[in-house]
């Protein structure tokens, strides 16, 4: 019991802090989406904008994220802690990585800019005429983005290693503000090309905000390529499984782009918006708890304390479910209101709303699965097993592609909903396989406690959802539902009532997760963020 309270005291504060940081970034991201939707609606221009990201995003994810996300910080820090000589070697390693990234991404970006007409035509077989030409034009401009973000991610890794987090936290916010500025100020003067230049401007800001901190640490660029160092060898060795895993994710997104381009205009936009909305609870809760639990799981596994490791893993698993399950249900019940409040103005009409809410409805069924996958994957990483999550990611990718193609061919009336169904199915398969392998490897998953918690959470969520649903009509009667403030009032009032009812039912059901969260609330948070923060994910349009 004492150990469990100690776990709660470390895990919950860390997750809260990381979640709040993610919330701010995602809030600005949603503001970005609102500016885009009110200006362009869910039509050809926004579709072209989303599709134009695909190859620059692919280059960035495979070359930059694949190399840096799981390996750069440990390798850089390993040198950094060895005194002055070690610090000099660490900077030499960082400069080598920076130069390799700039060369590799620069060459790929140049090749893409030259070959864009043919590559875009392959990825968007349903585009033609002006829509295809616009996609090519935007994509060529955005080829600058992965070069800038590649350098910025190296800077982020260095700053994290030195525990300098202010500039790192501001970077994604400024990236989104750059895109917003592009829509508001560049589009009126440059036309739709202003969208792409806004992305480039955001990437410049993402990099620039970190430069002063890097200079204060002693950064000076030099043309170093020390490819024979042990760190570079380890980097290339460690990045391969990560690249395969990220490649599986990118294939899923390419599938959406290829099939979505053949559907009704606005389909790519609808999936993009719905996916970003459903990812909010995943990022705020799922990623935050996974990051917070990671250091403790790694420590207990390194010490051979498997029981303590399992306690951290299953505890974080239950906390994620406790928060994400009701959020998923409430998002499903209020999907129309949510979309209208965040996106429903200007050029984004009711037809766009329907297309997006239908897509979001299917995605909400797998939010809980997507939220626990990062935690379950990290449970393998701390066992020095990167292969199993990658294999499972590839299997789920195959499920996604097969389901999306099959549904699109045999049930064409589903339209973009087919892509959302396939996406959710693959996430459920991914989670299930991770759980099955972990259960077998660990000899259990604290089954009785986890199942009882899941049952309590489901019952309480159903109770909260029922209260929410019952209040929707009475609230609609007393507010103007054809006005923004009326829809927003219905969303806020019913969601708050549903949340209160959920907490009440959870209390009546004696939920241990509620007790743990409640016991944390009065306490002051004082936490070293370094152990829990990772370099953030940027997938084209960062969420």
pLDDT in tens, 327-362: 999 999 999 999 999 998 778 888 999 999 999 999
Query: In sequence order, which residues have a C-beta less than 8 Å from that of residue 282 and are 6 or more positions away?
Result: 324, 367, 370, 371
pLDDT category, 534, cuts 50, 70, 90? very low
Using DSSP's 3-state secondary structure scheme, residue 41 falls into: coil
The string of pLDDT tens digits covering residues 111-134 is 999 999 999 999 999 998 999 999
Residue 86, pLDDT score: 78
DSSP string, 474-528: HHHHHS-TTSHHHHHHHHHHHHHHHHHHHHHHHHHTT-HHHHHHHHHTTSPP---
Spatial CA neighbour of 13 closest among 531, 534, 524, 535: 524
Residue 21, pLDDT score: 63
- Of residues 166 and 388, more confidence is placed in 388
The string of pLDDT tens digits covering residues 275-322 is 999 998 998 888 878 877 877 787 788 788 888 889 989 999 999 999
- Of residues 296 and 541, more confidence is placed in 296
Residue 448, pLDDT score: 92
What is the pLDDT of the chain when averaged over all its residues?
A: 85
For residues 217 and 197, is the Cβ–Cβ distance under 8 A? no
* The two three-digit tokens of residue 55, written as one number: 């190859």
Query: In sequence order, which residues have a C-beta less than 8 Å from that of residue 475 and are 6 or more positions away?
Result: 489, 490, 493, 494
Residue 2, pLDDT score: 46
The string of pLDDT tens digits covering residues 490-527 is 999 999 999 999 999 999 999 998 988 776 554 433 33
pLDDT category, 65, cuts 50, 70, 90? confident
Residue 537, pLDDT score: 32
- Has residue 260 got a pLDDT over 60? yes
Give CA separation, 372 vs 79, 290, 398, in Å: 33, 8, 20
- Of residues 288 and 398, more confidence is placed in 398
Query: In sequence order, which residues have a C-beta less than 8 Å from that of residue 237 and are 6 or more positions away?
Result: none
Q: At what angle do helices 387-410 and 230-260 cross, to 10 degrees?
A: 10
The string of pLDDT tens digits covering residues 218-236 is 888 888 888 888 888 888 8
Give the CB-side neighbour count of residue 269, counting CA atoms within 13 A: 27
Range from 1-10, 380-389, 427-436 carrying the lowest mean pLDDT: 1-10
What is the chain's length? 543
What's the whole-number mean pLDDT along residues 89-109? 90
- Has residue 377 got a pLDDT over 50? yes
Q: What letter would DSSP give residue 531?
A: G
Residue 195, pLDDT score: 93
What's the whole-number mean pLDDT along residues 416-427? 96
Range from 44-48, 200-204, 256-260, 518-522 carrying the lowest mean pLDDT: 518-522
pLDDT category, 204, cuts 50, 70, 90? very high
Four-residue CA torsion sign, 419, 421, 424, 425 = negative
Token pair 């259990």 is at which residue?
444
C-alpha–C-alpha distance, residues 292 and 531, integer Å: 8
- Has residue 265 got a pLDDT over 80? yes
| Percentage of residues of the chain with pLDDT beyond 90 | 52
Q: At what angle do helices 166-181 and 2-40 cross, to 10 degrees?
A: 20
Residue 323, pLDDT score: 95
Residue 527, pLDDT score: 37
């Amino acid at each position: 019991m004492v150990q469990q309270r100690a776990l709660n005291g470390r895990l919950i504060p860390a997750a809260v802090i990381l979640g709040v940081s993610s919330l701010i970034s995602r809030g600005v991201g949603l503001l970005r989406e609102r500016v885009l939707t009110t200006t362009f609606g869910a039509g050809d221009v926004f579709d072209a904008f989303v599709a134009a990201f695909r190859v620059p995003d692919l280059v960035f994810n495979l070359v930059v994220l694949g190399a840096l996300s799981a390996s750069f910080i440990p390798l850089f820090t390993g040198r950094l802690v060895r005194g002055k000589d070690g610090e000099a070697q660490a900077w030499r390693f960082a400069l080598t990585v920076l130069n390799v990234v700039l060369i590799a991404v620069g060459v790929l970006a140049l090749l893409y800019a030259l070959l864009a007409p043919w590559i875009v035509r392959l990825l968007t077989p349903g585009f033609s005429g002006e829509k295809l030409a616009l996609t090519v034009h935007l994509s060529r401009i955005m080829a600058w983005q992965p070069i800038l973000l590649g350098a910025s991610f190296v800077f982020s890794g260095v700053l994290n290693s030195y525990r300098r987090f202010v500039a790192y936290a501001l970077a994604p916010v400024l990236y989104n503000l750059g895109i917003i500025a592009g829509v508001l100020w560049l589009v009126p003067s440059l036309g739709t090309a202003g969208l792409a230049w806004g992305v480039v401007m955001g990437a410049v800001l993402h990099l620039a905000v970190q430069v002063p901190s890097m200079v204060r640490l002693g950064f000076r660029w030099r043309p170093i390529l020390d490819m024979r160092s042990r760190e570079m060898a380890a980097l290339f060795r460690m990045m391969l499984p990560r690249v395969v895993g990220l490649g599986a994710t990118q294939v899923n997104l390419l599938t959406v782009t290829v099939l979505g381009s053949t559907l009704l205009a606005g389909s790519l936009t609808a999936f993009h918006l719905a996916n970003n909305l459903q990812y909010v609870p995943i990022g705020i809760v799922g990623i935050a708890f996974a990051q917070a639990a990671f250091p403790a799981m790694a420590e207990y596994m390194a010490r051979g304390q498997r029981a303590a490791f399992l306690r951290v893993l299953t505890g974080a698993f239950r906390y994620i479910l406790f928060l994400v399950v009701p959020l998923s249900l409430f998002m499903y019940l209020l999907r129309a209101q949510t979309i209208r409040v965040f996106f429903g103005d200007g050029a984004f009409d009711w037809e766009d709303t329907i297309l997006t809410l239908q897509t979001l409805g299917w995605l909400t069924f797998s939010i809980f699965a997507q939220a626990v996958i990062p935690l379950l994957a990290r449970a393998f990483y701390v066992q020095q097993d990167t292969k199993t999550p990658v294999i499972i990611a590839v299997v789920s990718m195959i499920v996604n592609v097969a389901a999306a193609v099959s549904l699109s061919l045999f049930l064409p009336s589903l339209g973009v909903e087919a892509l959302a169904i396939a996406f959710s199915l693959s996430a459920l398969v991914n989670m299930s396989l991770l759980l099955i392998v972990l259960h077998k490897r660990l000899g259990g998953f604290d089954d009785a406690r986890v199942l009882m918690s899941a049952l309590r959470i489901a019952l309480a969520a159903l109770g909260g959802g029922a209260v929410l649903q019952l209040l929707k009509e009475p609230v609609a009667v007393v507010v103007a539902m054809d006005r923004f403030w009326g829809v927003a009032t219905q969303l806020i009032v019913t969601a708050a009532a549903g949340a209160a009812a959920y907490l009440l039912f959870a209390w009546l059901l004696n939920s241990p997760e509620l007790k743990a969260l409640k016991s944390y609330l009065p306490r002051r948070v004082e936490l070293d963020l370094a152990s829990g923060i990772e370099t953030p994910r940027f997938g084209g349009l960062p969420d």
